[in-house]
Amino acid sequence: MGPYSLPHLRPDRELVRGWIEQALELSEPESDSRAKALIARSFWERNTPEAAREAIELAQRSGDIDLQSYALGARGAVAFGEGDFASALTWSERRLNLLDQISDPDHVADIYEIAIPSCCANARFSEARRLAAEHDAIVEPQSDHHRVHGIAVQLEVEEACGGWNRIVELTECTDAAVKANVATPCIRNARSLL
């Protein structure tokens, strides 16, 4: 069994940690490469606020909006991982404010996917539902896998809200999305059906 083998569906944690450490060692101190490695560390480990803070500082100095967005996402992910849901929401809101400057639909979808759990954790369910609908609109014209994420995000919001009737209403769409995506391993295939 290699580092990418099932049932894990993810590479070995230590393998990825090693890649991230290597990227940090090889990057220049004030570079975008260092910011990207710090962002990777923050998302992978979720307990590295200092890495996320440094990533934001580097991204702001670079002026790269995409890099700034990912750094804000990393800071929000770390706050969420620490259980600081109010801060996670604040970081997500700052990132959402960049939406009109970002054109890549995958990046936009990522912004929504990170913001929505923070909204739910802060009982901002109306906002979570609105963002889930916007996310679904962004991913709809993309791949089958994107569409599974679109329906899954809606289901996850409704689960958090206790919107059981809405979940039932989404059953047919869920079944169709999962069937179309069955060849792509994704936890959201099975989770959405559950």
Q: What is the pTM of this model?
A: 0.88
Mean pLDDT of 150-158: 97
126-151 pLDDT, tens digit per residue, is 999 999 999 999 999 999 999 999 99
The Cα–Cα gap between 175 and 193 comes to 7
pLDDT-derived band of residue 11, with 50, 70 and 90 as boundaries? confident
Provide long-range contacts, Cβ within 8 A and 24+ apart, for 80-84: 80/46, 80/117, 80/118, 80/121, 81/46, 81/47, 82/46, 82/47, 82/49
Give tens-digit pLDDT for 69-93: 999 999 999 999 999 999 999 999 9
Residue 9 has a pLDDT of 61
Q: What is the pLDDT of residue 5?
A: 36
Q: What value does the mean pLDDT take over residues 99-116?
A: 97
Q: What is the largest CA-CA distance in the chain?
A: 53
Domain assignments of the chain as residue spans, ordered by start: 14-102, 108-194
